[in-house]
Amino acid sequence: MTMTAMTPPRGLPHYQPTGDECTLFETAHKNGLPLLLKGPTGCGKTRFVEHMAAATGRKLYTVACHDDLSAADLIGRYLLRGGGTEWVDGPLTRAVREGAICYLDEVVEARKDVTVVLHPLTDDRRTLMIDRTGEELKAPPGFMLVASYNPGYQNVLKRLKPSTRQRFLSISFDFPDPVTETAVVAHESGLDPERVKPLIRLAGRIRALSGMDLEEGVSTRLLIYAATLIAGGMAVERALDAAVVEPLTDDDDVRIALRDLVATTWG
């Protein structure tokens, strides 16, 4: 399990709203409602949560979910300490105790027993049962459960059940419009907006491709990586190869096609 705890900084992490998502988050947080974020990889879901945690003044626990993530990883377990055993809270338990925000990134990747734990926290009970200690924690005001997933990667074996999905408010995320994405990439990378614009055009062309072996189009995150390399003095062709072409595919034919598209965009 990969877990990070973030104390709200003095300055808000940069996030460029594309609609009323900030207002919806604030309203959900105020009313103790869980929130589900849906959208492709690298479109800004995690940054949005970081931004809103800071905006609401709440500590944030982020858990990167994976195939082996179990309910015990979230709740906690007994560990051997100094010849004895000691209970150690998991990130979800700490968030409930502290009235913090717990963000489960790509929640569908976790084991099925995780959703059983989440259900009492996502209805009017707002409780977390710790079977190993016999505690039943009541989530205080300020606690919020946020989860995300990428609908494009779902399959029969890894799908968020309607019984779970309908316990959350939900926001659909997508890649920003060209003007917004240009501003975001320029801000994050330090590259002049005029030099960012060809990157955004390239991204639009890649995302519009059909019939190629690409699971997804290029993410805003990868565009920021490419712009950062270019701003640091790397040649455009090399930066795009390292930050866009190679991360998107291992297929030789697709790499050639993407490099041709790069050459055309900058031609």
Encode the chain (267 residues) as per-residue pLDDT tens digits: 555 655 544 568 889 898 999 999 999 999 999 999 999 888 999 999 999 999 999 999 999 999 999 999 999 999 988 788 899 999 999 999 999 999 999 999 998 889 889 999 999 999 999 988 999 999 999 999 999 998 876 554 567 888 888 999 999 999 899 999 999 999 999 999 999 999 999 999 998 885 566 777 899 999 999 999 999 999 999 999 999 999 999 999 999 999 999 999 986
Give how far Cα 60 sits from Cα of 43, 65, 96, 178, Å: 20, 15, 11, 30
In 133-188 the beta strands, taken as DSSP E runs, fall at 135-138, 144-149, 169-172
H-helix or E-strand containing 163? Answer: helix 162-165
Residue for token pair 């940069």: 14
H-helix or E-strand containing 72? Answer: helix 71-75
Burial class (CB within 10 angstroms; exposed 0-12, middle 13-18, buried 19+) of 33: middle
